[in-house]
Chains A and B, each alone.
Chain A
């Protein structure tokens, strides 16, 4: 007999029928996490997601830096969506410190965050394509990201980790001929998105494969606390941009994308429709933006908040993303709590995968719009 097991750990009983598969962390279809899947033949009996491989302690790190120094590292969890993850932090700190944001900066923030949503969604879509074995759908979005990345580079100077939003506005103004260039690229980008519809979303093999798999009902979606595209694909009309408009979203003309089916196909389609809507928002914002003016309210050096707290949330590429910032009168925040959509969407995975075929695992898993690094924070 080997050494006794540590308390709390028990050996699994061997079973003739049930086979345990460790999908990840070193598996092409897992991301930075592990799925402990038990299969009976080709059917999944149970699924146990095991995240936490990329935990970096962002929340604790935020307690040792002052409000401005927190900006570069708080965007690390989702470098593809860095504007959207900084958005709630900036809004909350502005509430704490009582800063007014110039009108032009608000519009620039909206444009940057919508562009960044496109960058993230294209990356997500590329991986969804390769998860389903569609290599063209991997290459096309990965190439078309460049249009949005180009624009963000022109705005902020960096391709991915932009550090563009600061409490009080944005770091710098957009370049001189930005509006014209942005309109041109977004027009072309919309044309490309139409082609995705033909090769991917209307593909008969894809429809056969994803329609009716991993169905999440409307009530389950609400009860499990899912957010973002997962919630909207289950027929719940909930978008924070509409329900709790921040900055200038209440001035802009756009619609929430809702589908009723709640299966993998609908979950993969809502982010795509969101991207088309983002293009509309960007065009509208470019039209309504003040042509000149300040883009940043200057802060005092090393600003301090009072004994207050602030919670703001935004609609990110993966759902509701909230930041809870507590101040105790020091230059550093007392506590920063990040509440992410990825982790909430992961919760419904064991419910969805139970009874599905093993071949549906990637289609359901990645349609949940889950980003392992963000969930681990």
Chain B
């Protein structure tokens, strides 16, 4: 194996980096700089505070932290930043990309393989980017008799619905895109879209195998949504609210998984089914129905569906963390921001720099994000492991599991919650607060 695999050498890696930097500098000075200078000759520069705003002055503004930090801080607290970057899409996509890499490596280690190894030199860390580039550059083929508008819209709708799901997840105190009062109901409403999109895409492809896959997905999702909703009723009874942020705040002292392990198990099983992961990957069972409802997707349309399904994976894992594992609650481990920097400024040789607007993010938020991420990644790992252990289940056994066992167990869970409330142990005015 060692003769085939490239051995990682730090020196070679640094050498390749310096190579790239050298060529960038050379090309920029020879071609880029003359172009910039020629452009500056023709552009009318604005005058601000009686000073001509030359590019050099703009660059000094960028380099001056006392000018840039307030701008960055005001940017962080806009809705745009929340939707695109931190609790929203960017954070989720980053975690999803990490999940794909971890899944490949973990599965490879379970199966005595090495996994992606070449792309990116270090353990194939850039494999995902390579796959994405390949998918973007591939031709998109659409079946001749497909219903084209719906067929085109399905992958976009899928990603959009997954992103809507993400926007409901509270990541840190006060950090949530959409703080809905009936947050849990909103989650159920968003989950209800997935089978519709699956069925639309499979029907519009006008092909046999996607059709069977779509029907299977519909059966699976509808029969598993009922135990999914029922298994969360216990939490609503005990926390007395549907707001996800308030549910997290109600778990400051103890997590709900301690009182409702049965609900957690039912919810975890339904997550696996909703995500179409092994052992419940019937809608994509490749030995029976080619690739199920994904059969006719090609190129970046397939890539979008995959992106959507991994966003969905992150969202479900985060929902499990929020509902059962206490969300962002955890001991304070993040070091506090040093106060001297705010009061006395930063001493840089002869100069003392006073920076307004520090700290950018408060300690509680950073600590909460840390704990939330750790718990979510843990849940994702547990979701990934069955793929290496179980074969695929059959549709009648799946429906039997959903309708008989899981619904029964979720009713047991509700009775446990009601008993705890009526015995006066938990809930409003209970013994444990």
Contacts and interface: CB of A to CB of B under 8 A. Distances in A.
Nearest to B113: A139
Nearest to B284: A133
A133 B394 contact: no
Interface in A329-375: 357-362
Contacts of A209: 391-394, 397
Nearest to B387: A135
Interface string A159-173: 000000000000000
Contacts of A311: none
Contact of A205 (B289, B390, B396): B390
Contacts of A357: 394-396
Contacts of A68: none
A324 interface: no
A27 B390 contact: no
Interface in B57-76: none
Contacts, number: 79
Contacts of B281: 133
Interface stretch (B41-49, B104-112, B152-160, B248-256): B104-112
Interface residues of B, number: 29
B208 A21 contact: yes
A138 B287 CA distance: 13
A244 interface: no
A55 B10 CA distance: 54
Nearest to A20: B208
Contact of A133 (B107, B110, B279, B396): B279
A208 B287 contact: no
Contact of A132 (B107, B287, B290, B387): B287
B282 interface: yes
B330 to A, nearest CB: 34
B107 A135 contact: yes
B389 interface: yes
B391 A137 contact: yes
B396 A143 contact: no
B208 to A, nearest CB: 6
Interface string B143-175: 000000000000000000000000000000000
Contacts of A137: 391
A84 B15 CA distance: 54
A42 B285 CA distance: 14
Nearest to B112: A143
Contacts of A208: 393-394, 397
Interface string B375-392: 000000000000111111
Nearest to B388: A136
B139 interface: no
Contacts of A27: 290
B212 interface: yes
A69 interface: no
B57 to A, nearest CB: 59
Contacts of A310: none
B113 A132 contact: no
A131 B286 CA distance: 8
Contacts of A129: 391
Contacts of B113: 139, 143
Interface string B202-214: 0000001100100
Contacts of A140: 111-112
B391 A28 contact: no
A4 B281 CA distance: 45
B106 to A, nearest CB: 12
B395 A133 contact: no
Given A135-B111, A357-B395, A203 B287 contact: no
Contacts of B397: 208-209
B402 to A, nearest CB: 15
Interface centre among B285, B286, B288 (most CB of A within 10 A): B288
A248 interface: no
A134 B107 CA distance: 12
B75 to A, nearest CB: 45
B110 A136 contact: yes
A158 interface: no
B390 A203 contact: yes
B278 interface: yes
Contacts of A276: none
B201 to A, nearest CB: 19
Contact of B287 (A21, A130, A136, A205): A130
A19 interface: yes
A206 interface: yes
A199 interface: yes
A88 interface: no
Contacts of A358: 212, 288-289
A29 interface: yes
B390 A134 contact: yes
A127 to B, nearest CB: 9
Given A130-B287, A136-B389, A362-B287, 5 more contacts: A129-B391, A133-B278, A133-B279, A360-B394, A362-B288
Q: Which 8 A-B pairs have the closest CB atoms?
A: A133-B392, A29-B287, A139-B111, A134-B391, A132-B391, A362-B287, A131-B287, A359-B394
19 contacts: A21-B208, A27-B290, A29-B287, A129-B391, A133-B285, A137-B391, A139-B111, A139-B113, A140-B111, A143-B113, A199-B389, A205-B390, A205-B393, A206-B391, A208-B393, A208-B394, A358-B212, A359-B394, A361-B288
Interface of A: 19, 21, 27-29, 42, 129-140, 143, 199, 203, 205-206, 208-209, 357-362
